[in-house]
């Protein structure tokens, strides 16, 4: 279980907020916490990651993981990464780690957004494509790994937990009383309707 968080938009986030958020993320991944930031024209991008090392324990597989002009933060596991790695090698890709993280980013470089069609596993990830100036967010087909999003008038926050978003945005967000009432009255069956959460304007990224 790793933790991811980030932002894309027109707001610059202070260093102390980045560090505070990384501290909150440590419970999801005690082995390494790190962040990257990018600026292109008037757009700021921040990628934060907290790692629980499972595959390729070496620090070379720490995240955010960068290759060429792409940067990845990833929570989960790609079960068929060895088969994908062999296919990508046959297509001319070179690997410097034994991680499924590198297989994921190389798959994106080979197949673009369609790379998710090749994955067998559970995941939530964010890839910043510096060439296209595009951020790709994805969750696995069954939504096993969490990813929440919070849209403001200046940009988009995202994270594995809502408290990461609250920390980065300095916004505690309002309680979603409708969601809370439905849950107290109807129980768990009321959850996951329209991807709402217990906080207004914070939604689950749709799975698949």
Whether 28 and 74 have beta carbons less than 8 Å apart is answered as no
Helix (H, G, I), strand (E, B) or coil at 135: strand
d(CA 124, CA 147): 6
* Of 1, 2, 70, 192, catalytic: 2
DSSP 196: B
> How many whole angstroms from its chain centre is CA 66?
14
Helix (H), strand (E) at residue 48: strand 43-51
115 a catalytic residue: no
Helix (H, G, I), strand (E, B) or coil at 64: coil
Structure tokens at 94: 């070179």
Give the active site residues.
2
């Amino acid at each position: 279980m790793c933790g991811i968080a980030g932002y894309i938009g027109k707001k610059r986030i202070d260093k102390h907020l980045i560090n505070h958020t990384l501290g909150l993320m440590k419970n999801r991944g005690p082995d390494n916490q790190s962040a990257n930031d990018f600026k292109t024209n008037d757009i700021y991008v921040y990628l934060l990651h907290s790692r629980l090392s499972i595959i390729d324990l070496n620090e070379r597989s720490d995240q955010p993981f960068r290759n060429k002009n792409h940067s990845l933060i990833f929570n989960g596991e790609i079960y068929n990464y060895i088969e994908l790695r062999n296919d990508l090698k046959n297509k001319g890709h070179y690997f410097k780690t034994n991680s499924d993280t590198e297989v994921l980013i190389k798959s994106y470089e080979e197949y673009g957004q369609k790379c998710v069609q090749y994955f067998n596993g559970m995941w939530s990830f964010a890839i910043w494509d510096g060439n296209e100036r595009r951020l790709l967010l994805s969750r696995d087909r069954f939504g096993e790994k969490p990813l929440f999003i919070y849209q403001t008038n200046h940009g988009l926050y995202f994270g594995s937990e809502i408290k990461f978003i609250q920390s980065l945005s300095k916004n505690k967000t309002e309680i979603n009383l409708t969601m809370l009432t439905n849950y107290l009255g109807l129980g768990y069956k009321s959850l996951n309707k329209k991807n709402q959460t217990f906080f207004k304007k914070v939604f689950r990224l749709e799975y698949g």
